[in-house]
Amino acid sequence: MGGGADASGEPGGSARGRVRTTTKQRGRMSATKARALVELAPRYALGDAAASPLGTWLDRSFGRRAPRLLDVGTGTGEATVAWARAHPDQDVVAVELHRPGLARLLAGIDAAELDNVRVHEGDARDLLAGAGPGDLSAVRVLFPDPWPKRRHWPRRLVDGAFVARVADVLAPGGVLQVATDWAPYAEQVRAVLAAERRLGSPSAARPDRPVTAYEAAARAAGRPVVDLVTHRL
């Protein structure tokens, strides 16, 4: 599943008192994946530029100014690669915490010879905190951790505060898309999107992306997938 919310993997995350919104980094690292991180991260990673405004940081990293697409929680990376391929005139920023997934994403970017993707291992909310109005043209969150137990619902990434921050930084007409296979989470997302007055009415949409490995597993288990899309007014 996606996420990309909390780089620390500890309760409270990187900010004191923060509610943890993602699971710990996990998964075994093969030698091939470890090598991909070492060899490819210097080329494609954003690095540590937390002191810079996001727009300036991205201009420097990509070497150009273009519409920016933020992909939060990339899984194994196939959807991110497809997004970048489909929009060569735009730049994709991919945020992920799961290091084996990051390694696969880096390998996929390199194999596709894409110059319009950068990856960031960290907290998506921290990245958004450095963004200014209009810095992003689209934000996509694919299958964030659903935290299915009711007592854990406050840990979900896509809440009112997250949506409000996305609305702060989306350009007019910009898109926010959230996909989940967990029905209660889909209803929560629909409600917080509808409550944000700077966004249009959320609607279900056919995804313009490949079926990810996680999505295929969800469908095989009989869990319907919901894609909700809204636009910045």
**What contacts 42, CB < 8 A, 6 or more positions away?**
none
The residues near 51 (Cβ < 8 Å, ≥ 6 apart) are none
Catalytic residues, by residue number, are 145
Residues in CB range of 108: below 8 A, 6 or more apart: 76, 77, 78, 80, 81
Average pLDDT over all residues of the chain: 87
Tokens of 164: 């409000």
pTM: 0.88
Task: Find the angle CA(121)-CA(178)-CA(59) to the nearest 5 degrees.
Answer: 45
Among 28-32, 112-116, 140-144, 183-187, the minimum mean pLDDT is found in: 28-32
Mean pLDDT of 26-47: 81
Buried b (16+ CB within 10 A) or exposed e, 135-167: bbbbbbbbbbbbbeeeeeeebbbbbeebbebbb
CA atoms within a 13 Å half-sphere pointing along the CA-CB vector of 126: 22
Write out pLDDT tens, residues 143-165: 999 999 999 999 999 999 999 99
Tokens representing 101 are 């997934």
Phi, psi of 72 (to 5 degrees): -100, 115
Most confident of 39-48, 183-192, 205-214: 183-192
CA–CA distances in Å: residue 114 to residues 43, 85, 91, 170: 11, 7, 10, 24
